[in-house]
Amino acid sequence: MATKKKIISKEDIVSLYMEEVLENGHKPKSVYHFAKENDFTEAEFYAFFGTLEGLEKEIFRLFLVNTIDLLHRNNDYLEYDMKNKMLSFYFTFFEILTANRSYVLQALKLDRNPLKNLVQLTTLRDSFKEYVSEILTDDYRLEQEKFQKFQEKGIQESAWLQLMLTIKFWVDDASPAFEKTDIFIEKSVNASFELMNVAPLNHLIDLGKFLFKEKIYSKP
């Protein structure tokens, strides 16, 4: 009696791809070669991914998805303020990256052109910006509605830049247990939230509105 072939899952394909990159030191030549070498069909691959590049992007997005899933399993996390949620995100995210460090380092150096390697992070970027928007609280929002959308985009972009700088620091970190990265995370997140304090900006806007009204409505 013939053995029934196992149905390959999205997670199986991700795992096989990461393993192949690590073992060979380069990505597969094509979907055809990747599928053939791992005993599944191209059709099974295309059921989950459109291209090998799409698979690469999804791997980094899954690091974030798994991070958020772990955070939401902790009931205390839901009660945290924005800064502590971000700190929890960073520490959990980099634990996951560390567990997959060999692949991450390999993936970010596959191409001689650094910009091509960073393309893998575009889906991660979109998902991370969504996460930042979700945890953004009124404490860090301007009261003036017309400025809120502009401010939120600014916070998302600066948070993404900070994450990229932290990834670069972690990649270069040679300290035991990456303890210097932990210190960098705490100091950089604390500093960013100090800069995000909108109270002074609100006061400047109020002053501007006051001066505008005085100029328009005051009589000589």
- Average pLDDT value for the chain: 84
Is domain 52-218 in CATH 3.30.67, yes or no?
Answer: no
Q: How far apart are CA 201 and CA 220, in angstroms?
A: 30
pLDDT 10s digits, 93-142: 999 999 999 999 999 886 666 667 788 999 999 999 999 999 987 665 55
Encode pLDDT of 184-210 as tens digits.
999 999 888 877 765 444 544 454 554
pTM of the model: 0.83
Residue 189: Cβ within 10 Å count: 20
- What mean pLDDT do residues 26-46 have? 94
Domains of the chain, residue spans: 10-47, 52-218
